[in-house]
Homo-oligomer: A and B are copies of this chain.
């Protein structure tokens, strides 16, 4: 639906010559440069995680350790949608763009008018997709590029909207929701392509990353998580793992029969890109089913970091973090690209805080594993990761598959939702420190036999979750140093910190809590500088921008997501919601549903 804009979009967008030229081109290599350049302008927020390196860092300094106490909301905007609001708003010129959970309405808001709606777009989608969306009906935001806003709908349609008018320029169906394939992730625009992952690991989908041409939505390449080499776009001689060529059929030979066809490996997390290497990085999720006794083998390349050539999709290197998963430790969390000291050596690193509780540091040029340390002391499923083989040393007592079929394995840490889930970390290139929102949850895990039926849950395990023994906080916000592989400081939080963090040159880190508080803390020690109780629990990411010379923070409230699924979907039984409902049941004493954007600024 188009609403007449009040002022010319050219004025609204306030884009520089470089970008208008870029927007004028129908496609072309110029685009990557445009977004790279635009993302260096800290007044805007043009890429879902702030920049291609997924650092969620801003060079803005007005909001600082000394001024944070003067923050307050300056305007707010209800999205009109309940359930979980993940992701965060983009800011392009004077416009803000955000998307909602199903029905995935996209709003274009005018920053010159306190968020007056310039246009909105609500796709027509069959609501049958709702029950096949695992862990709430979230959408993690839109992408911008080539004068278009890209939305990955719940029903997997990727739609390109004219950024000025909201008019549909093209759309393409990326998957089949009747088979449990759904869209929840933010696309990433690089050069002439838009990349999009897929959700559905709990429905036995075949995960893949897909690149479409931004000009017309035509398929550029598609690379599966599991399957034959051509399907997974592996070059047996040149695609490497732990520094060695993977060889032929590296995926097929790790599955029993054709189980890879329902092998999961969703790609619903965040995507990063290194312009110098022309590589895109992302992770794959859990293998199907969750019952490991039904699924022998390493189940490659589930639970894997992928580095793929942007132009061709061919994998340069891979690293599987959790072979033969027995815990649902999806490997999809953000891949942070940072040139950072690791054991004293400045390194072109990829840093990844995995669901399995290990913080992985790899050489992003070649996939070599440099470090893998626990970032939550509760982690017990593995004692360590062998840096030579890359293989974790599994603790059998906490391995449901090793305990035999139908055994209820107790006190496994972390729980299935991991020491961290999709909530993206922040990294400051000034401090070289990573600021990480975490979960602090353990579980009982009881596998049961399940058969595959298209579009039906392919889970095969019953879970219950709770805090580690003797503790009562379900989350922490931590600062982490990869140089020494150590946690620098920890802020305990009542619930999982399910919000994306922001680090700035002002010396602050900002995150939100599941009970609804936006918190600004000191990068040095985590000390609270400012807190505000937003309308609902925060599972969105805090983004920042500058408008008319002033710095602002923007965050979506709206409790939900996996940790909030009990409230979001109205579940009441402890074992519903894949085990999350029980652990988080007191959440409703603190906050209620409701999607609201809050924009914060400094007092004059």
Contacts and interface: CB of A to CB of B under 8 A. Distances in A.
Copies of chain A in the complex: 2
Given A73-B72, A78-B596, A596-B596, A589 B533 contact: no
Given A72-B72, A72-B73, A73-B73, A80 B592 contact: yes
Contacts of A82: 80, 82
Nearest to A534: B76
Interface in A104-158: 114-117, 120
A3 B589 contact: yes
Nearest to A558: B78
A540 to B, nearest CB: 13
Contacts of A596: 76, 78, 535, 594, 596
A9 B77 CA distance: 34
Contacts of A557: 78
Contacts of A534: 76
Interface string A69-83: 000110111111010
Contact of A592 (B72, B75, B79, B603): B79
B115 A80 contact: no
A319 B79 CA distance: 45
A73 to B, nearest CB: 5
A544 to B, nearest CB: 19
A55 to B, nearest CB: 30
A591 interface: yes
A589 B533 CA distance: 27
A594 B80 contact: yes
Contacts of A73: 72-73, 76, 532
Q: Which of A115, A588, A589 has the most chain B CB within a 10 Å cutoff?
A: A589
Interface in A156-202: none
A392 to B, nearest CB: 41
Nearest to A531: B114
Nearest to A100: B592
Contacts of A593: 78, 80
25 contacts: A3-B589, A73-B73, A73-B76, A73-B532, A75-B533, A76-B533, A76-B534, A76-B535, A77-B592, A78-B536, A78-B557, A78-B594, A79-B592, A80-B82, A80-B536, A114-B533, A116-B589, A117-B588, A117-B589, A117-B590, A117-B592, A120-B588, A535-B596, A594-B594, A596-B596
Interface of A: 3, 72-73, 75-80, 82, 114-117, 120, 532-536, 557, 588-598, 603
A-B interface, 5 closest residue pairs, ranked by CB to CB distance from nearest: A78-B594, A80-B592, A78-B535, A72-B72, A80-B593
